């Protein structure tokens, strides 16, 4: 909640713990602002709110926060929903665990449905093994 002496604020985001900043919104006069989270993912996010007219007056989040890649927002294969968004050996491990060992639920089943046939099965396992080790086949995007 902004102080009554503050007319408007700018909201900024850093994805690298304050090294660089991007402006999310300018001249917000209300006490809240809804922001639709955008890529890139980060483990070092900070939000800063500055007085639009007296930029030396500002405050920021006390601790960093993470922005995770969305569920199947880009390419498939990030089965473990890792922050880097990458399809790698960790994702293969999760898929094997899901299919054969502990049957762990998946954080985003669409990431694991590599052949887009609506089920997670051995066909998807074949594709990620192919992607990682054999033909390095490009995985389809989610859309
Ligand atoms: Ca991953
Ligand atoms: Ca499938």
40-54 pLDDT per residue, tens: 889 999 999 999 999
Helix 122-129 vs helix 89-96: angle between axes, to the nearest 10 degrees? 160
- CB neighbour list of residue 29: distance below 8 Å, 6 or more residues apart: 7, 8
Locate the DSSP E strands across 15-76. 22-28, 42-51, 58-60, 65-67
pLDDT tens digits, 104-126: 999 999 999 999 999 999 999 99
Of the listed ligands, the closest to the CA of 78 is 1
Residue 77 pLDDT exceeds 70: yes
Token pair listed for 46: 């900070």
What confidence category does residue 39 fall into, taking pLDDT thresholds of 50, 70 and 90? Answer: confident
CATH number for 70-143 (one of 1.20.1600.10, 1.10.1330.10, 1.20.1070.10, 3.40.50.1370): it is 1.10.1330.10
Token pair listed for 88: 């790698």
Between the CA of 132 and the centroid of ligand 2 the distance, in Å, is 17
Q: How far apart are CA 44 and CA 115, in angstroms?
A: 33
Q: What is the residue extent of each domain of the chain?
A: 9-67, 70-143
- Rg of the chain's alpha carbons, rounded to an integer? 20
Residue 2 pLDDT exceeds 70: no
Between the CA of 112 and the centroid of ligand 2 the distance, in Å, is 7
Between the CA of 6 and the centroid of ligand 1 the distance, in Å, is 43
Surface-to-core class of residue 112, CB atoms within 10 Å of its CB (0-12 exposed, 13-18 middle, 19+ buried): buried
Q: Which residue has the higher pLDDT, 28 or 4?
A: 28
Token pair listed for 59: 């405050």
């Amino acid at each position: 909640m902004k102080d009554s002496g503050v007319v408007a604020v700018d909201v900024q985001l850093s994805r690298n713990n304050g090294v660089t900043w991007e402006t999310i919104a300018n001249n917000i006069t209300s006490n809240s602002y809804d922001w639709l989270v955008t890529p890139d993912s980060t483990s070092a996010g900070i939000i800063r709110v500055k007085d639009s007219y007296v930029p030396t007056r500002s405050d920021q989040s006390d601790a960093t926060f993470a922005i995770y890649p969305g569920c199947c927002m880009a390419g498939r294969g990030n089965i473990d929903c890792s922050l880097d968004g990458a399809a790698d050996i960790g994702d293969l491990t999760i898929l094997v665990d899901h299919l054969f060992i502990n049957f762990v639920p998946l954080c985003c089943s669409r990431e694991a449905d590599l052949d887009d046939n609506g089920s997670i099965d051995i066909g998807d396992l074949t594709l990620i093994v192919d992607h990682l080790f054999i033909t390095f086949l490009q995985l389809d995007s989610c859309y």
